[in-house]
Chain A
Amino acid sequence: LYIVDFADTSIVITEPYFTFSSIQESMNEILFEEYQFQSVLRINAGSLSAHRYFHENNAELCCIVVDSGFSSTHIVPHCRGRKMKEGICRINVGGKLLTNHLKEIISYRQLHVMDETYVINQVKEDVCYVSQDFYKDMETAQLKGEDNTVMREYVLPDFSSIKKGFCKPREEMNFTGKYKTGEQILRLTNERFAVPEMLFHPSDIGIQEMGIPEALVNSINNMPEEMQPHFYKNIVLTGGNALFPGYRDRVYKEVRALAPVEYQVSVALPQNPVCYPWEGGKLLAENPDFEEMVVTREDYEENGHYVCEEKFDI
């Protein structure tokens, strides 16, 4: 379908924050020497998100991007298009940790699923949500029978008749006795909201780090005084973990509780948090400044890694 001739194309590729120089150099080698791209831009995903955000909201000067992905969560302030390195905060909780934790607790309480990463990942995406009132949800989850609105039954795939797991709707759920059909079912009560709760309180598991709202406030407090209200007004949530239902409202509630009263707090959740940086990259490629930001192959062949270190703000 897409037959791309690498020697004529330029590529925009994202990297995590603070990658090591050995990894950056390997990346340069792969892109220029193996694939022979015409020009390369290596950038952080958050910078692309910020670019996209500023494109929509022209009047704003600063924004703070919360990128919650597979391996970890990064909180990055941006001002006038540049990221502020002093404010970057990394929480080591990501989708991988949530799925692994869910695997462990299901394996202990119900069924051994330690090898089934994909299936449990699907369970997490279908069934987990972020609760707005943690202790109230905990109490509801402890009730028996119909009163327990939190409990859901999830049918596991068996790859012969049921190809993909799904969550049973409330009407069909069987509260009393055993299951009549031969399906394998997981009953999930407090795991539904306790697992995403780890994004907000990593100390629940024993990880001694701040959760997302606290780290946001902490990061903003490390910024100069006059910029702080601007940061509070422009919080952007991106990354796969932003897809949990209730995520945005919960972040807003906690940040509002921790932020000073005078400042206005507003949290933005784009339509598609996963592809938001990609859209930023698309806009950036159409930008006239793009040509100055990339490193061309000739540049690299003349000067080597040094030119990439200078130009790319990673």
Chain B
Amino acid sequence: QLLKSRQDINPSQACRVRSQDPNQRRVLDSATRQRRLTRQLEALEKDNFQDDPHASLPQLVKRLPQFDESNESGKRRKKTRGDHFKQRFRKNFQTLLEEEDLSVSEGPNYLTAFAEPSKFPQRHFCAVCGFPSNYTCVSCGARYCCVRCLGTHHETRCLKWTV
């Protein structure tokens, strides 16, 4: 059963006082929550193929291993990298995986090598401060540890980018 009622925007009330009235609070169902979680996990996997934002600054005295090597290679990389990737890697990982059609072949392969779900129960941490949490936000399912963190959560993140 979903409690998705329209949000009444009461002009006399300030926005930061969120109404605790059950009729006015939007609650996400478990499918939406799962979708949000999958989105977050996929965002964690991204490769960051972008230029170092500090590459154009004046040359550093000591050469650091982490940063871009020199100004010229940074600029050259800017020209070739974007086009290069778009041209040669039109097929992304998913397409290649499907092409391989591994379910047909026998023996161990990429798909069988997956680690299984853990036998231990999942631990939950507060989305705001990172310490172990005990409570769940009613609307979106995020965890929090204390009332202060709940306030921060409601102000900043709760239902801000819904799928």
Residues of A within 8 A of B (CB): 17-18, 20-23, 74, 85-86, 88-92, 96-97, 100-101, 104-105, 108-109, 115-118, 121-122, 135, 138, 141-142, 159, 163-164, 189-191, 194, 201-211, 214-215, 218
Residues of A within 8 A of B64 (CB): 163-164
Task: Return 5 A-B CB contacts under 8 Å, by A number.
Answer: A20-B96, A86-B108, A92-B115, A203-B123, A215-B115
B162 to chain A, nearest CB (A): 17
In the complex, are the beta carbons of B45 and A85 less than 8 A apart?
Answer: no
B122 on the A face (CB < 8 A): yes
Complex alpha-carbon distance, A191 and B44, angstroms: 16
Residues of A within 8 A of B21 (CB): none
Please, how many residues of chain B have a CB less than 8 angstroms from a CB on the other chain?
46
In the complex, are the beta carbons of A209 and B116 less than 8 A apart?
Answer: yes
Cβ 8 A contact of A163, one of B44, B62, B113, B157? B62
Residues of B within 8 A of A21 (CB): 100
A91 to chain B, nearest CB (A): 5
In the complex, are the beta carbons of B113 and A89 less than 8 A apart?
Answer: yes
Other CB < 8 Å A-B pairs besides A86-B108, A109-B130, A218-B116, 4 of them? A91-B115, A100-B46, A142-B131, A206-B37
B49 to chain A, nearest CB (A): 10
In the complex, are the beta carbons of A214 and B119 less than 8 A apart?
Answer: yes
Complex alpha-carbon distance, A210 and B115, angstroms: 6
* A18-B110, A97-B45, A116-B53 known; A121-B66 Cβ under 8 A: yes
In chain A, what residue has the closest Cβ to B118? A210
Residues of B within 8 A of A205 (CB): 41, 44
Q: Nearest 6 CB-CB pairs, A to B?
A: A18-B110, A85-B108, A209-B115, A203-B122, A208-B117, A90-B113
Complex alpha-carbon distance, A142 and B114, angstroms: 36
* A21-B100, A22-B100, A100-B44 known; A115-B53 Cβ under 8 A: yes
B40 on the A face (CB < 8 A): yes
B140 on the A face (CB < 8 A): no
Complex alpha-carbon distance, A149 and B29, angstroms: 41
Residues of B within 8 A of A89 (CB): 113-115
Residues of B within 8 A of A74 (CB): 113
B36 to chain A, nearest CB (A): 10
Residues of B within 8 A of A194 (CB): 125, 130
B122 to chain A, nearest CB (A): 4
> Could you give, for residues 35-57 of chain B, a 1 whenever the CB lies within 8 Å of some chain A CB and a 0 otherwise?
00100110111111010111001
In the complex, are the beta carbons of B117 and A210 less than 8 A apart?
Answer: yes
Complex alpha-carbon distance, A204 and B62, angstroms: 39
B50 to chain A, nearest CB (A): 7
In chain A, what residue has the closest Cβ to B67? A118
B128 on the A face (CB < 8 A): yes
B83 on the A face (CB < 8 A): no
Most chain A CB neighbours (cut-off 10 Å) among B109, B110, B130: B130
In chain B, what residue has the closest Cβ to A85? B108
Residues of A within 8 A of B37 (CB): 206
> Could you give, for residues 91-119 of chain B, a 1 whenever the CB lies within 8 Å of some chain A CB and a 0 otherwise?
00000110110000001111001111111
B119 to chain A, nearest CB (A): 7
In chain A, what residue has the closest Cβ to B64? A164
Residues of B within 8 A of A122 (CB): 66
* A116-B53, A118-B52, A190-B130 known; A203-B118 Cβ under 8 A: yes
Residues of A within 8 A of B129 (CB): 109, 190
In the complex, are the beta carbons of A207 and B120 less than 8 A apart?
Answer: no
Complex alpha-carbon distance, A104 and B66, angstroms: 20
Residues of A within 8 A of B82 (CB): none
Complex alpha-carbon distance, A191 and B113, angstroms: 30
A148 to chain B, nearest CB (A): 12
* A89-B113, A115-B50 known; A214-B118 Cβ under 8 A: yes
B65 to chain A, nearest CB (A): 9
